[in-house]
């Protein structure tokens, strides 16, 4: 029986890798991952939708840990959209978030979105994707974080680097662009599970299925994963190709030419050796 079950699992994995997962297989994988990470959640600390919106904007290309260290002082100083809208980005906000990446532009963005919240939405965070993405610094991913976590009505699955990598390794999609990955996951999974999907996949990526050294041996879904034990080959961005493969040779040739010219110049400038006088 065990041998038969093992063969069945292997054949399922091969079929998943070749054709892509079915909706039933995707739900089964998500259930298994949820059992492994029952505590999966949004790790940006916030007390309301406004704080979540600001924190998510600040988290672009920055870790959640770094953002959570900066936001307590920020939200203490500016607890509402009305308060933040009156702030000067450089003078009032930058010093509070200077420990995170791109803090100057992010300071402008959160002050700008606060002003728009006050002017167009009565100081409240809107509950539609269209209205959210119209705010400074807010893209589709940020908007779906807010819609899913704060309001429970996401318009899609949030696809960050972890979700992109894990969904590819698990055979949920072969797409490489975030927008196409999102559409594939939304097609496979029920709408009421879109929000938790991103959190579960993110936790799995951080804890087990890392980019460089995935822990396949310790993974609870390795029997369902078509990439098990060679996952490091899947879901990682290929190294950037050199624009001109001959460039290093050209640089070496130029350096050689410069050194040769310098040696010739030095030799030419050297005074002639004096001949010893004949007796």
Look up the CATH number of the domain holding residue 170. 1.10.1670.10
What is the C-alpha to C-alpha distance for residues 16 and 29, in angstroms, rounded to an integer? 11
Residues 63 and 125 placed together within one structural domain of the fold: yes
Look up the CATH number of the domain holding residue 140. 1.10.340.30
Residues 203 and 142 placed together within one structural domain of the fold: no
- Residue 231: per-residue pLDDT: 77
- Residue 230: per-residue pLDDT: 87
Residue 246, burial from CB neighbour count under 10 angstroms (0-12, 13-18, 19+): exposed
What is the C-alpha to C-alpha distance for residues 74 and 95, in angstroms, rounded to an integer? 9
CA nearest neighbour of 73 among 43, 93, 49: 93
Return the active site residues: 141, 160
The answer to whether 159 and 144 have CB atoms below 8 angstroms apart is: no
What's the whole-model pTM score? 0.76
- Residue 18: per-residue pLDDT: 41
The alpha helices in the chain, defined as continuous H runs, are 2-19, 23-36, 49-58, 64-77, 81-85, 94-97, 103-121, 129-133, 140-151, 161-169, 178-188, 194-207, 247-269
What is the C-alpha to C-alpha distance for residues 98 and 183, in angstroms, rounded to an integer? 36
Torsion of CA 126, 130, 131, 132, to 10 degrees: 70
244 is a domain residue: no
- Residue 241: per-residue pLDDT: 52
265 is a domain residue: no
Residues 21 and 73 placed together within one structural domain of the fold: no
Q: Along the chain (279 residues), what's the average pLDDT of each consecutive run of 10 residues?
A: 40 46 93 97 97 97 96 98 98 97 97 98 97 97 97 96 95 94 96 97 96 94 93 65 50 58 54 57
CA nearest neighbour of 234 among 172, 189, 156: 172
What is the C-alpha to C-alpha distance for residues 267 and 208, in angstroms, rounded to an integer? 63
Residues 213 and 167 placed together within one structural domain of the fold: yes
- Residue 252: per-residue pLDDT: 55
State the residue for tokens 């196409």. 180
Longest Cα–Cα distance of the chain, Å, equals 109
Domain span including residue 203? 8-41+159-233
Cα–Cα distance list, 100 to 79, 82, 160, 162, 181 (Å) = 20, 24, 18, 20, 28
Cα–Cα distance list, 97 to 80, 114, 129 (Å) = 17, 16, 26
Number of domains comprising the chain: 2
């Amino acid at each position: 029986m065990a041998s038969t079950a093992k063969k069945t699992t292997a054949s399922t994995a091969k079929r998943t890798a070749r054709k892509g997962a079915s909706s039933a297989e995707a739900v089964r994988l998500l259930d298994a991952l949820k059992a492994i990470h029952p505590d999966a959640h949004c790790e940006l600390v916030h007390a309301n939708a406004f704080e979540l919106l600001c924190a998510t904007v600040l988290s672009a290309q920055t870790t959640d840990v770094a953002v959570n260290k900066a936001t307590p002082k920020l939200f203490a100083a500016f607890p509402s959209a009305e308060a933040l809208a009156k702030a000067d980005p450089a003078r009032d906000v930058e010093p509070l978030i200077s420990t995170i990446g791109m803090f100057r532009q992010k300071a402008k963005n959160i002050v700008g979105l606060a002003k728009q919240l006050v002017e167009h939405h009565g100081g409240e965070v809107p509950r539609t994707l269209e209205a959210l993405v119209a705010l400074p610094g807010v893209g589709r991913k940020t908007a779906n974080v807010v819609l899913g976590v704060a309001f429970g009505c996401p318009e899609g699955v949030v696809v960050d680097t972890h979700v992109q990598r894990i969904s590819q390794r698990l055979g949920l999609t072969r797409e490489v662009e975030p927008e196409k990955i999102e559409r594939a996951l939304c097609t496979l999974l029920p709408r009421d599970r879109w929000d938790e999907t991103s959190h579960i996949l993110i936790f799995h990526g951080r804890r087990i299925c890392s980019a460089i050294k995935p822990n396949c041996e310790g993974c609870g879904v390795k029997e369902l994963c078509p990439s098990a034990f060679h996952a490091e080959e899947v879901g990682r961005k290929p190294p950037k190709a050199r624009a001109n493969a001959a460039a290093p040779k050209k640089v070496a040739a130029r350096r050689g030419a410069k050194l040769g010219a310098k040696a010739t110049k030095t030799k030419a400038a050297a005074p002639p050796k004096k001949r010893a006088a004949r007796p």
